[in-house]
């Protein structure tokens, strides 16, 4: 089983690339943001809780996010590989993922990060907001808060995976195809 953490700030292109890689390698794609949005659409209790954080550009608390992630992984016992998109976002989440993988006799093979300048991210997210229907893409203040939250809590995970020799940075600016090629070049060395 090959497990990849697709990493990068909001707007780096994780969701787009995860969908391409899922088809290419026949892996399962788990996006915690998508699962939260699904719950919001279906008016669940989890959705209401998550929305109160997401609308402000803040992270949903770890315990809630970790329990949800575990349930998603457990839905896919026969996966050949999993692409984690938007998880882990804190050190506690990274630890929980490592324990979960241990219990499955598996591991995170790599964190592959899409590197994009902050101002490019803001412009991309504002553009996406015109059609995504995501309230957190519609407002520049919330977009900047999401990026700030990334630097406060998430960016440090680079060190976490670097210490395990599992960190790979990839230029996230270019066409979708070019970026897939860069990601695949890393994945195929694993």
Q: Phi-psi category of 85—alpha, beta or left, where left has phi over 0 and alpha has psi -120 to 50?
A: beta
Cβ closer to ligand AMP: 58 or 70? 58
Distances (CA, A) of 75 to 58, 82, 120: 27, 12, 36
Distance of alpha carbon 177 from alpha carbon 163, whole angstroms: 30
Write the DSSP string, 173-187. -S-HHHHHHHHHHHH
Stretch that binds ligand AMP, among 58-66, 74-82, 94-102, 110-118 (CB under 6 A): 58-66
Does the footprint of ligand AMP cover residue 36 (CB under 6 A)?
Answer: yes
58, exposed or middle or buried, with CB in 10 Å at 0-12, 13-18, 19+? Answer: middle
| Contact residue for ligand AMP among 53, 118, 166, 186 (CB under 6 A) | 53
Is residue 10 involved in binding ligand AMP (CB under 6 A)? yes
Q: How far is the CB of 106 from ligand AMP (least distance, A)?
A: 19
Q: How far is the C-alpha of 143 from the C-alpha of 135, rounded, in Å?
A: 10
Q: Which stretch binds ligand AMP (CB under 6 A): 49-57, 110-118, 167-175, 181-189?
A: 49-57
State which residue, 51 or 166, has the beta carbon closest to ligand AMP: 51
Residue closer to ligand AMP, measured from CB, 42 or 181: 42
* Binding test (CB under 6 A) with ligand AMP, winner from 60, 79, 82, 83: 60
Query: In sequence order, what are the residues at sequence separation of 6 or more whose Cβ sits closer than 8 angstroms to the Cβ of residue 86?
Result: 14, 15, 31, 32, 33
Per CB under 6 A, the segment of 18-26, 52-60, 71-79, 97-105 that binds ligand AMP is: 52-60
Q: Is 87 in the site for ligand AMP (CB under 6 A)?
A: yes
To ligand AMP, the closest distance from the beta carbon of 64 in angstroms equals 8
- Asked if 59 and 149 count as a contact pair (C-beta separation under 8 A), the reply is yes
Tokens of 43: 């008016």
Task: Give residues in contact with ligand AMP (CB under 6 A).
Answer: 10, 32-33, 36, 53-54, 57-60, 65, 86-87, 89, 93, 136, 146
């Amino acid at each position: 089983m090959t497990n990849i953490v697709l990493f990068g700030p909001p707007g780096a292109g994780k969701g787009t690339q995860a969908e391409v890689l899922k088809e290419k390698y026949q892996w399962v794609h788990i996006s915690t943001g998508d699962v939260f949005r699904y719950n919001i659409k279906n008016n669940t209790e989890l959705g209401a809780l998550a929305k109160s954080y997401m609308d402000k550009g803040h992270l949903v608390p770890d315990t809630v996010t970790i329990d949800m992630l575990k349930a998603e992984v457990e839905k896919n016992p026969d996966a050949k590989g999993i692409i984690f998109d938007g998880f882990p976002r804190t050190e506690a989440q990274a630890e929980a993922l490592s324990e979960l993988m241990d219990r499955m006799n598996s591991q995170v093979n790599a964190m592959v990060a899409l590197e994009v300048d902050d101002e490019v991210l803001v412009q991309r997210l504002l553009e996406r907001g015109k059609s995504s229907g995501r309230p957190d893409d519609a407002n520049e203040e919330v977009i900047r808060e999401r990026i700030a939250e990334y630097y406060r809590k998430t960016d440090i995970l680079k060190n976490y995976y670097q210490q395990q020799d599992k960190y790979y940075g990839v230029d996230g600016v270019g066409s979708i195809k070019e970026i897939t090629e860069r990601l695949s070049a890393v994945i195929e060395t694993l």
